[in-house]
Amino acid sequence: MSLDRLCDDLIRGIEACIALKHEPTKRFAPYGAVNSLFCDRQNELRELLRHLFDLHSIISFRLDRYVDRTLGVDNQRSGLCNILATLLYMRGGESILRQFDTFLRSNDSNPSCTDDDLPFDLETCHRLFPAGGRGGDFFTLQFQFCPVVLNKHQDVICKDHKVSCPLPFIQEEYINSGAFGTVYKVLIEKGHFRHGAAGYDSRVPYARKEFELDLRRGEKAFREEMETIQEILQQSKSHKNIMVTQCSLQYGNRFSLFFELAKCNLWEYLSDVRAAAPSTLDQKYAIFHRGVELAGALAFLHEELTWKSTIRLSCYHLDLKPHNVLVVNCRDGVERWKITDFGMSRVKPVGKAEVPPPGLSRTSTFGDIDLGRHFRRKTPPINSTTALASTENRRGEGTYLAPETVIGDGRVSAESDIWSFGCVFSLVITFIGSGPSGVLHFDDFRRHPGGNHFFELNQELDQAKINPRVLEWFTKLCSGASQLNYFECQFIPLSSSSSSDISPSIDTPPIRQHAVAPLQHLAISPDSALVACAVKAKNPQNLNGSEASSTEVYLFRMQDVLSSAGELSLSPVPTLDPPNSPQRSSSSMSHFSAFSPPPWKNIIREGNIGPIAGVRGMKFSKDGSFLALATEPSPSVDSEGNPVLKVTVTLWSTQDGRLLTSFDINNPGRQDLTSSFLTTYSLFNTHPEFLVISQRNSIYHRSQTQKVSGRMNLRLYDALLTEDDEGVILLGDNGTQKILNIYTLPTANIERSEDASRYRKIDLTSYEPTTDSMCLSTHQGRKEILVATRKKTLIAIPAP
């Protein structure tokens, strides 16, 4: 085969490897593509080298060495395939191709250039390829064979002649623009995003944010600060809700950061009218929890960053807004919100660092890293004609900025981020309550002549105040949260009561039930036969002129709740006596079949319970025969001005609605007003008596005829009685360490509460009686203590 035909065949093979071949300014040979071609076509490569250098069979060992040298398999040095491909594309015949000999004859003592040294500058091209004066042609043609290769967690710099290297983007799609940068979705060619020596074997999508560098401030200063902030944000201790850059690229005066590609940003997520609003409590909790996770990420930036593992730093984001929170794995089980866009961030050392990180010189303005000063602003800042334009600490623009970013003497700080987070979180709460339409309405509702910021600026006085329409909206949010008129519950079958995380089964969907008014408390009898609800009355009234109650109580059969789930109303079981009623109720369970009152009839016929805010909970006895309700009104003072607190416990029979007892527990002179007086209470199983825990350490046994009390050297959280009422099971700790234990105490020894003995330690460090629960259960003939928490953890302990 002639040399010309051989060259044409190889060029056609190389051309088939070229990406974007029809775009002259973007075309490139993917990383390793030319090397793979020559490896697959070694016979043609050997023939080409034989033609060029008159290598006959008698010196075939030299030809083998030249092939290995070209392919880069000798001594693990980089090959020469891209250099040879560039010479072929020059189409200069044998005289041009023979210049390849310079690279083939190099050795360890006389090393030459390899593909790793591409692209050569123009002077080097003229020196290495003098034949025919065509060094300039090599300079021009080489770039398509040396596209940019990105390296994970590294900075890639292309300047001077290297800015002609093609970018490895097969596709590039505009997403949005901000004050400083533009975001694109890019599809990076396989092999061009590398981690160490390995590259991805398929094309990978990333988000690329591009900034224009203002190099008048000095490239060295930018690089120094960029390296520091990259090291800080890529430290081993990280937060799952912070979007860390995968790599960066400086391409001339353009600087790009590459991120994990998100489906959308938080604003798009919250305002997408095509998406359904969260409807179930689980969905609403998930949204709320993601907002809480953002708060944790912000706290991490403010308080937990370090440099070189010794110097504590604080990073202020200073441009926190929904557009800078990305949503990855959108609307699936592993959805996560991540704070991004740290290009505007400021990093400050905490305390006195002996050797501050580069760029953190304490003689500089505010003594911090401020990357924003190195980028050219694409749009003017808000109020750019005012003092804002000349103040060094101003950041970004827009709705979610804190007031100090626009007033004359304002200094940005961690509190500036907290303001912005509060603004963002108010959108999250709005979304939970009213979905995307509510978020868009809130956006319009808070608008004022200066925009739709969360504050208003008086430019003459250089003062800011909270936007009054925002306060009005927050009032509506609070009111709406207290007006939700349904409840949701889920029954979770436990095949084993061993300790585990509680995971609902798809076979047991949630039960959603409408209520007559917003539910404040709900209780289910241990045998699951009855449900009791305490609600806030819409129009409190009391005929005898006393203070009207805002509490109503309803009692239902569980079967009715399940069978009518989703309907607008339920019919309750019969009316119960009010707490001060001396007579027996005329209603009874035997009359239920003929009992047809309006839906959701209140079982408390008079205003005796008091304000709904004072209700601390409801409980059934073990067999469901008794229903108890505990209330704790606001503290009062005695004649000497000492605080007096009271807990009232009321007990009814669920069989016939009869009031069994109602009594008060007072504690005059109590000093600690920082927490609730009532800790928890429990009902006896065999007769209508109570066990009450107050102030975390006082225990009361109250019957219709007497009261017995004691004080314990423990910090208590919950209590229950054994089935025979002879013993008390207590959950608490020793008062100094939050390591929870089960304690036991004979009921007869309550006055001698020091007789309580530690039964066993449990694997919990926190417990809240208002949301967590403890009960006795029987499993496979064994008595067990079950402890369930709002964190969906279930712990089973053999009963003493």
Residues 401 and 469: their CA atoms lie apart, in Å, by 17
Q: What is the CB neighbour count within 10 angstroms for residue 627?
A: 25
Contact assessment for residue 71 and residue 81, using Cβ atoms and an 8 Å cutoff: yes
Say what the pLDDT of residue 480 is. Answer: 73
Is the pLDDT at 311 greater than 90? The verdict is: no
**How many C-alpha atoms does 464 have within 13 Å on its Cβ side?**
17
Please write the tens of the pLDDT for every residue from 127-182.
999 999 999 999 999 999 999 999 998 889 999 999 999 999 999 999 988 766 78
Q: Kindly indicate the confidence band of residue 342, based on its pLDDT and cuts at 50, 70 and 90.
A: confident
Helix (H) or strand (E) holding 431: helix 414-445
Name the range with the highest mean pLDDT among 322-326, 374-378, 456-460: 322-326
Which of 1.10.10, 1.10.510, 3.40.50, 1.10.472 would CATH assign to domain 177-423? 1.10.510
Asked if the model's pLDDT at residue 365 lies above 70, the reply is no
**What is the per-residue pLDDT for 228?**
62
Q: What is the per-residue pLDDT for 357? A: 56
Q: Locate CATH 2.130.10.10 in the chain.
A: 675-800
pLDDT digits (tens, 9 = 90+) for 512-560: 666 666 777 888 888 888 888 887 776 555 444 444 557 778 888 887 7
> Helix 468-481 vs helix 414-445: angle between axes, to the nearest 10 degrees?
80
Task: Tell me how far apart the alpha carbons of residues 217 and 230 are, in angstroms, rounded to a whole number.
Answer: 20
Where are the CATH 1.10.510 domain residues in the chain? 177-423
Name, of 78-92, 363-377, 735-749, the range with top average pLDDT. Answer: 78-92
Residues contacting 764, CB < 8 A, separation 6+: 740, 787, 789, 793, 795
Residue-wise pLDDT for 95-105, tens only, equals 999 999 989 87
Give the per-residue pLDDT at 586.
33
Query: Pairing state of beta strands 150-151 and 204-212?
Result: unpaired
101's enclosing H/E stretch is helix 101-104
Q: Which residues touch 538 (CB under 8 Å, ≥6 apart)?
A: 517
H-type helices in 184-218, by residue range? none
- pLDDT tens digits, 199-258: 778 999 999 988 887 766 666 666 666 666 666 656 656 789 998 888 889 999 888 889
pLDDT at 13: 97
Looking at CATH, the fold of the domain delimited by 675-800 is given as: Methylamine Dehydrogenase; Chain H (2.130.10)
Whether the per-residue pLDDT at 185 is higher than 60: the answer is: yes
Return the percentage of the chain with pLDDT > 90, whole number. Answer: 34
Q: Which of 14-23, 265-274, 405-414 has the lowest mean pLDDT?
A: 405-414
The two three-digit tokens of residue 150, written as one number: 């990105």
In the numeric block, which tokens belong to residue 225? 């600060």
Assess whether pLDDT exceeds 60 at residue 111: yes
Spatial distance between the Cα atoms of 457 and 173, rounded to a whole number of angstroms: 38
- Mean pLDDT value of segment 454-472: 85
pLDDT tens column, 617-671: 889 988 888 889 998 887 777 777 777 788 888 888 887 777 788 888 876 544 5
Check pLDDT > 90 for residue 473.
Answer: yes
Q: What are the φ/ψ torsions at residue 571 (nearest 5 degrees)? A: -105, 125
Tokens of 172: 């590039």
The per-residue pLDDT for 591 is 29
Residue 450 has pLDDT above 90, yes or no: no
For 346-405, give the DSSP string: EEEE-S--SSPPTT--TTSGGGSEEGGGGB--SSPPTTTTSGGGG-TT----STT--GGG
How far is it, in rounded angstroms, from Cα 644 to Cα 652?
27
pLDDT digit string (tens) for 377-425? 555 444 433 332 222 333 445 789 998 887 766 678 889 999 999 999 9
Residues 325-353, mean pLDDT to the nearest whole number:
81
Rounded distance between C-alpha atoms, residue 413 and residue 317, angstroms: 9
**Residue 95, pLDDT score:** 92
Nearest to residue 67, comparing CAs of 54, 88, 81, 56?
81
| Helix, strand, or coil (residue 485) | coil
Query: 115-119, 158-162, 588-592: which has the minimum mean pLDDT?
Result: 588-592
- Alpha carbon of 198 to those of 137, 187, 201, 741: distances in Å? 32, 18, 9, 52
Give the pLDDT of residue 79.
92
What pLDDT is attached to residue 792? Answer: 77
What 3-state DSSP class applies to 146?
A: coil
Average pLDDT value over all residues in the chain: 80
Rounded to whole angstroms, how far apart are CA atoms 560 and 441?
39
Cα–Cα dist 432/320, whole Å: 20
Instruction: Using the predicted structure, report yes or no on whether residue 690 has a pLDDT greater than 60.
Output: yes
Query: What is the pLDDT at residue 143?
Result: 98
